[in-house]
Amino acid sequence: MSKTTRFFAFVFTLVLASIAANSQTTAFKYQGSLTDSGSPANGSFQMQFKLFKNAAGTQQVGQTIEVPSVTVTNGLFSIDLEFTSGAVVWENDRYLEVAVRRTAQEPFVLLLPRQHVLSAPFSIKAKNADTAAT
């Protein structure tokens, strides 16, 4: 392989690596449990998710995510959430508020306490690490 071919192969590899690094998102999976009158819930529920800077819920960050149909089986559900850019900053505390209802005719019922979101499941900082190699 000539020097020129190796150089272009190296540049091509760098371009592919940078594309893969930039494709990382701020989405995360939330798994929860839901009861209905003390028993595990079953069926389809409408859910609303908000992200806050504090447990008191006084400083919302990002948009409200409303999901019209979340399947709950034996009380368990799982959903992928992605708030607007900048809303999920793992260096700071974030608290997830969940509200639920069966139909649009009912008001949302707030599930408290708000859940502290931890960075352990997903390392978003790796996307921006400037000194990882040193």
Q: What is the 3-state secondary structure (H, E, C) of the chain?
A: CCHHHHHHHHHHHHHHHHHHHHCCCCCEEEEEECEECCEECCEEEEEEEEEECCCCCCCEEEEEEEEEEEEEECCEEEEEECCCCCCCCCCCCEEEEEEEECCCCCCCEEEEEEEEECCCCCCHHHHHCCCCCC
Q: Can you give the pLDDT at residue 65? A: 95
pLDDT in tens, 54-89: 999 999 988 999 999 999 999 999 999 988 766 766
Q: Can you give the pLDDT at residue 14? A: 40
Q: Can you give the pLDDT at residue 16? A: 39
| pTM of the predicted protein model | 0.70
pLDDT < 70: residue spans in the chain? 1-25, 85-86, 88-91, 119-134
